[in-house]
A = this chain, B = another copy of it.
Amino acid sequence: MAKIHEVAKAAGVSISTVSYALSGKRPVAAETRRRIEAAVAELDYRPNAGARMLAGNRTHILAVTEPLRADTHAPTHMAFVLATAIAARRSDYDVLLLTDEQASAGMHRVAASGLVDGIIVLDVAPTDERVALSREIPTPTVFVGVPRDHEGLLCVDLDFERAADMAVEQLVAAGHRRIGLIGHAPPAYELSNFPPRVRDGFLAAAEARGARGEFAMLAGEGRSDLRARRAASGLLDSGVTALVLHCNDEAHNGVLEEIAARGMDIPGDVSVISVGSSFDTGGFATALSSVPLVPQESCDIAVELALQRIDGDDPAPGVRLIDPHFIDRGSVAPPRSVSE
């Protein structure tokens, strides 16, 4: 582990010049810079992290808090953590993973010790203890998700209401008037912030667009594909001609199985749109049109906002809702009664 003065000596300059050459915060003669860079490469020099934190008042680390309860959907959460890490690295930041304890304990710790420059809050609950904490600490904090009480907070999220509305819009435009929504398991509507937003957006959109919206959750115990089959079965029995899915990929499979088992065809007999899914909806037995949730979008913006606050630019607090977009994979068509 070479140190800055070795680089300075090797390049025949002072250590401050080395520092400036690397940070770019002061102009350095081209020839001088060249020699410094050569020395850096030669010695495989990297500024010592601790020294940089202490002197520079910047750690180049972002904390990511993710409660990671046992019941959470691992692939989705993993995707957000990954997306955050990728966004952070693009700005030369590393990511410290906070999973532990009462969620806020770790957050408090890293803030008080100055271990991180900023904090990204994932898997936000409607009532989240990290909200109160974020107001007490000086460390810039950005929420990916919208807690109930978000006064003064910086939040980023997909516009789930609009996403649901967009799905309904497509289906109504195709002629559907009876539309079902298959959601998550009931606890998700208490513990997570976005399922209720999709549900409410869906019901409001149906009403506003002159259709009848019906909502079913994954009730009961066991495999979610089987629970989704039951939910789909109930909705299809009740006469819906189209389904909106806001659930995990396993549940998607269940719905497709139920439809296939009935000898029904997509989109001939029933139209289907997936909403807010962060997995690929093109890989199912039948490819599904969707209004996806793209983790990279939210996380890019979240990291960017955090960095702005770190750099002293002060983005106005408030909720940044990301515009959803519709991906057509051909799973929507007019209902039988209309097309015939």
Binding site for B on A (CB under 8 A): 1, 44-54, 59, 61, 64, 68, 74-75, 77-79, 81-82, 85-86, 89, 94-101, 106, 109-110, 112-115, 138, 222-223, 250, 253, 283, 285
Contact = CB atoms under 8 A, between A and B. Distances in A.
A61 B96 contact: yes
Given A89-B100, A99-B85, A115 B49 contact: yes
Given A45-B112, A46-B112, A68-B82, 8 more contacts: A1-B112, A49-B110, A49-B114, A50-B53, A68-B78, A78-B78, A85-B97, A94-B106
Contacts of A106: 89, 94
Contacts of A283: 222
Given A94-B110, A95-B96, A99-B85, A54 B48 contact: yes
A253 B74 contact: no
B114 A1 contact: yes
Contacts of A48: 54, 113-114
A45 B109 CA distance: 10
A203 B115 CA distance: 50
B100 A97 contact: no
A54 B52 CA distance: 9
B114 A100 contact: no
Given A77-B78, A99-B82, A49 B53 contact: yes
A91 B230 CA distance: 47
A96 B99 contact: no
A183 B138 CA distance: 51
Contact of A96 (B52, B68, B97, B253): B97
A218 to B, nearest CB: 15
B85 A100 contact: yes
A116 to B, nearest CB: 8
A86 B100 contact: yes
17 contacts: A1-B112, A44-B112, A48-B54, A49-B50, A49-B113, A49-B115, A50-B52, A50-B54, A53-B53, A68-B78, A74-B79, A78-B78, A85-B100, A94-B96, A96-B97, A97-B97, A223-B253
Question: Which 6 A-B pairs give the minimum distances between C-beta atoms?
Answer: A50-B53, A50-B54, A74-B75, A49-B115, A46-B113, A46-B112
Contacts of A114: 1, 48-50
A280 to B, nearest CB: 10
